Amino acid sequence: MDEQLFFKKLNNLCTSKEILYCLSSLEVISDTMASGALQRISEIEVDDNGLKNPGLLDNEVFKALCFQFEFESSKLSNTGLLNALQALIKLCIDPRSTLMASLLSESEERLGKGQLTTENLCALGESLLELEGPSCAMLEQIVNHMQEKDIERWSPREIVMVYKILQVTVREGRQCQNLLNRLNSVTLCTVSQLSPNFASVILNSLVVLRQTQAVPLVTALCKHSVKHVPYFTDHELVNVLEAFLYFGQKVQIFTEALERHVPKSILTLHPQTVSKVMQYCCKKMILSKPIFDAVAEGFISNADRLTTDQIAAYIIPFGTLNYLPPSASSLFRKLEIVLHTRLRQFQPHTLLNLLHSCVLIQRYPVNFLPKIFSPYFLQKLQAQPPGLNRAVMSQLTQLFLTVTLECPFYEGPKLLSKYQVKAFPTLHSSPDVHLIKRVKTGLLYLLKKRIYFASEVSTPYFYVVDIEIKLDEEGFVLPASQLEEVHRRIALCVDGQNRFCAHSHNLLGEEAIKQRHLQLLGYEVVQIPFFEIEDLQNTRKMADYLHKKIFPCTYG
């Protein structure tokens, strides 16, 4: 039969039985036709769980085909040899069998003689990656041969294959940066031609290969990924999100594409993909209400099927970014049910992070705090990395302070003083030095003397106040150093952009809880957000703004 006609017929056959019957009816077939038939069988018979019909390997026609490939491997064309190798690997043929040994030996011989084209080298590389993994010495030979080819003429598939091989060879300690530099330059010119899969694979390779200097290529790939968001598989989308996180990329139109895709697909996306989307939003401080609302609904529906790490990944960003979705009551009711049934399954640090994120948004896990403050649990925290470092002890202290201030009905165990910090570290909310300097200049103009306010004041309650002003009973400003006759304390929270979600006026969770607690501790909290003062051009306008904000009763 004519090859072209054969392949046309082959593509219309839907079962391995039909394909093998078709082969048995032909008197003569070329090795290309035979290997094509094996590839078609592998497409039909293999899914994510492996070989669907193991009985196929005992079929007489199939065994005859394999016999022919094993004992006539030296007579095969390059295409026939390498296509057969790929198909048999996919069909889970034992790598130690004489059949596979014969095909691999012949492939290695042709590789050594330089008889393989670029396309052949890529096909062999794919097979070796599937079959032998990172320790395969032939992969280095393939890279050496590829370097001798005209790299500018490579197809996207060939480019992707070389990146995959380089991931393995570089992981083994081999240096290929010169080839990578050439490859990165060529890839930059082909970005617009890349499929979703190819774009994802290359981004993943750039992460593994730590190509932080390839900024133009990374930027182009991240922008190119935007149009592929609806078409990425779960695994591909995770690779892309990891690249955005690793390289620090933040593309607004990519976030917008996620906002269109995630709500529509929340019930079909793999939980690990949703976890990675939430990690991306959390790390980039992106409060995307469409995404967060959809994830809340997804959690309510699927929480019982999530791992403990996935549960934490779904919930923690709500606290970090200080957001309660419309379904908050159902969301936290579901979380409480899950915690009651699976509390022992959580790793200690995961559980602490989860419960701490809840109190940031005024969801109080009082039923679980006796466990958190117990000596046994604290010993488990100490025993697992990162142990009881300052950040962990700050979370414990803030949990304890929250129940003391906001849950007076809590009568469980307290947190021992040796586990409490003296001051909370400012992970995201360190003061904006430039902004505070402008506010202090305005205050000096308003109050006339520097003695009437203090900056970066440590309180007995673990928080540091940006600027503090003390007033007596009649409302007169007192010197900051005075300790007696202080009737009111005003805490100015000078909130720079770093204390808000990205492109938003929504305070981050750790700053929101600080201001809430300062109020409960007796301070009059006055928020000075960056967006209210960034356009004030001179000191007099700043002083006027501060007068109105801090002393509204005497203004005007």
For 412-446, how does the pLDDT look when each residue is reduced to its tens digit (9 = 90+)? 999 999 999 888 876 667 889 999 999 999 999 99
Whether the Cβ atoms of residue 177 and residue 143 lie closer than 8 Å to each other? no
d(CA 295, CA 274): 7
Q: What number is the average pLDDT over the span 127-150? A: 77
Q: What is the pLDDT of residue 261?
A: 97
Whether the Cβ atoms of residue 151 and residue 186 lie closer than 8 Å to each other? yes
> H or E stretch including 523?
strand 523-529
Strand segments (E) across 27-72: 46-47, 50-51
Q: What is the pLDDT of residue 145?
A: 83
Q: Torsion over CA of 363, 394, 376 and 408, rounded to 10 degrees?
A: -40
CATH of 433-550 given 3.40.50.20, 3.40.1440.60, 3.90.1150.10, 3.40.960.10: 3.40.960.10
Whether the Cβ atoms of residue 307 and residue 270 lie closer than 8 Å to each other? no
> Angle, to 10 degrees, between the axis of helix 138-148 and the axis of helix 118-131?
160
On the question of pLDDT at 163 being above 80, the answer is: yes
Whether the Cβ atoms of residue 393 and residue 420 lie closer than 8 Å to each other? yes
Q: What is the pLDDT of residue 230?
A: 96
Q: What number is the average pLDDT over the span 12-28? A: 87
Asked which of 124-133, 183-192, 364-373, 460-469 is least confident by mean pLDDT, the reply is 124-133
Average pLDDT, the chain: 92
On the question of pLDDT at 524 being above 80, the answer is: yes
DSSP line for 150-208: -GGG--HHHHHHHHHHHHHHHHTT---HHHHHHHHHHHHHHGGG--HHHHHHHHHHHHH
Asked which of 274-283, 314-323, 357-366, 416-425 is least confident by mean pLDDT, the reply is 416-425
Q: What is the pLDDT of residue 305?
A: 95
- Pairing of the two strands 464-471 and 454-458: antiparallel
Q: What number is the average pLDDT over the span 405-414? A: 92
Rg (CA), the chain: 32
Q: Which phi-psi region, left, alpha or beta, contains residue 461 (left: φ > 0; alpha: ψ -120 to 50)?
A: alpha
Residue 173's pLDDT band, with cuts at 50, 70 and 90, is: low
Of residues 522, 533, 529, the one with CA closest to residue 497 = 529
Percent of the chain with pLDDT over 70: 97
d(CA 439, CA 494): 8
Q: What is the pLDDT of residue 356?
A: 97
Number of CB atoms found within 10 A of residue 396's CB: 22
Domain ranges (residues) in the chain = 1-115, 131-247, 433-550
12 or 223, higher pLDDT: 223
Cβ neighbors of 445 (< 8 A, separation 6 or more) are 539, 540, 542, 543
For 288-347, how does the pLDDT look when each residue is reduced to its tens digit (9 = 90+)? 999 999 999 999 999 999 999 999 999 999 999 999 999 999 999 999 999 999 999 999
